Amino acid sequence: WSPPVGDGGASNVGSGCVDPSRAAVTVGTSAAVRLMQRIPAGEPMPRLPERLWRYRVDHDHVVTGAAYACGGNLFAWANRELRLPQGAELDAALALVPVGGGRPADPRFGGDRPPGLAPAGSGQLRNLSFSTTAVDILAGLMQGLCELVAEDLTVLESTIDKPVGVVLGGGAVAASVWWRQAFAAALAPRPVSHQRNPEIGATGAALVALGRFGHAIELADIGRTDELVMPTTAGRSHPQYPS
């Protein structure tokens, strides 16, 4: 038997982000950016900015970060309401949108997760015209999340006074080359890679239960952000996008 572990902490471990040198950016249905540190119970904690949260993973480790009520659910909404192209057609259309492109958007359709204060319904789409396509809107929403994460990662780095590397993880980024590349551009000049295994939470929970934090980095299946080794969001495979 093992004490329960939070999904966020487990996802960091499953991403191989178990020390302050690398932050985990996880995008499933929702999203989060988190940094793990070894701080045994009873030792002084680092400064905690107002816009971040912190909790204990186990007796010796804490995780600090920010979470968002938007992630893969942005794609689900766009797919349902905007009649997106499917499969390879969608992938090809996204590949034509420059990284950082799409229409300006605030992706906080579901509001902020605590400690943020924005209520549900805070999402926005801007600069729409008759030439705007559904794919432009989807790309803007995906880019909007990248920008939220970039802002909070800068705040997170201020608690350790140094830049970090980033590992992307979760089913949504495993399925989308475009989203991985958008994150890499938004988080530059930090080195950004991605965890190929989308089941990072389950993997991390097993490592926590076994007390194998030290093995998390060597076991992480980390690759370049332009790789495509999983099916696309529409469930079909296709060749890699160019870097």
- Residue tagged 């499969």 (tokens): 87
Q: What does the pLDDT look like over 13-55, one tens digit per residue?
A: 988 899 999 999 999 999 999 999 999 999 999 999 999 999 9
List the structure tokens of 225. Answer: 């952000």
The candidate with the shortest Cα–Cα distance to 33, out of 58, 69, 64, 75, is 64
Q: What does the pLDDT look like over 65-100, one tens digit per residue?
A: 999 999 999 999 999 999 999 888 998 999 999 988
Residue 200 binned pLDDT confidence (cut-offs 50, 70, 90): confident
List the structure tokens of 47. Answer: 């400064």
Q: Is the peptide bond before 189 cis (omega within 30 degrees of 0)?
A: yes
- Let me know if domain 7-224 sits in CATH 3.30.70.100: no
CA distances from 201 to 106, 150, 198 (A): 27, 22, 8
Q: What are the sequence ranges of the domains in the chain?
A: 7-224
- Mean pLDDT across 125-138: 95
How much of the chain exceeds pLDDT 90, in percent?
63
CA distances from 203 to 71, 106, 141, 169 (A): 21, 32, 29, 12
Given its phi and psi angles, is residue 121 left (phi above 0), alpha (psi -120 to 50 degrees) or beta?
A: left
Residue-level pLDDT at 214:
72
Question: Are residues 78 and 84 in contact, defined by beta-carbon separation less than 8 angstroms?
Answer: yes
Q: Is residue 240 predicted with pLDDT exceeding 60?
A: no
